[in-house]
Amino acid sequence: MAKVDFDALKAAAAGGRSGHSPLYEDMWQEFARLSKIFTPLRRPDWAQVAAAYAKAGAMDGDGKPPSDRVVQKTWWRVKRDKAAIATTASETVASSKKTGAGPKPPLAKPALAQSAPTKSAPARAGRQPARTDNASVAGDPGEPPEPTFAPSSLKKG
């Protein structure tokens, strides 16, 4: 297997577009600081936040200064995406604690062994039990099966 140059991958990923606006990327990177400012107890004036981002040179997905609505929606998307990542990470940690850390080893194939004969399930009403003898179906009818009765067909005396 060929060795991967992770420095080259890192540079390639840094040079490519993430699929998000520069505003999203900035809010993503500054999430910890922004989440202390944008709390449910202190609703921001989104028009002032948009003006601050525009003054700093942040752009929306169309390359324009962001509007207050764009800034607000972008913040909610960043929060949603961060929460999704945190949920996925916590589920991964929880499942690894339940099952033990690390990947599971492959299951060993069980050896083929002679198994003891098992009892067949009891016959249902109106059906004859399956044949268990080795008689040929066409040539030797074997012994007739025992009759079966459904509880509803029994008469009380």
Predicted confidence at residue 78, as pLDDT, reads 94
- In sequence order, the 6+-apart residues with CB closer than 8 A to the CB of 148 are 122, 123, 124, 125, 127, 128, 129
pLDDT reported for residue 67? 95
Q: Buried b / exposed e across 28-62, counting CB within 10 Å, b at 16+?
A: beebeebeeebeeeeebebeebbeebbeeebebee
Residues forming a β-bridge with 39: 42
Q: Is residue 139 part of a domain?
A: no
State the residue range of the domain holding 65: 24-99
- How many domains is the chain built from? 1
Note whether 45 and 98 are within 8 A (CB): no
What's the pTM? 0.48
pLDDT value, residue 111: 59
Specify the pLDDT at position 50.
94
The predicted structure's pLDDT at residue 101:
56
Contact (CB, 8 A) for 141 and 150: no
Contact predicate 24/42, CB 8 Å: no
* pLDDT score, position 141: 58
- 137 lies in some domain: no
> pLDDT digit of tens for each residue in the chain (157 aa)?
577 777 777 777 666 656 788 999 999 999 999 998 888 887 889 999 999 999 999 888 888 999 999 999 999 999 999 999 988 877 766 666 666 555 555 566 555 556 566 666 665 666 666 655 555 455 555 666 666 655 555 556 5
- pLDDT at position 55, please? 93
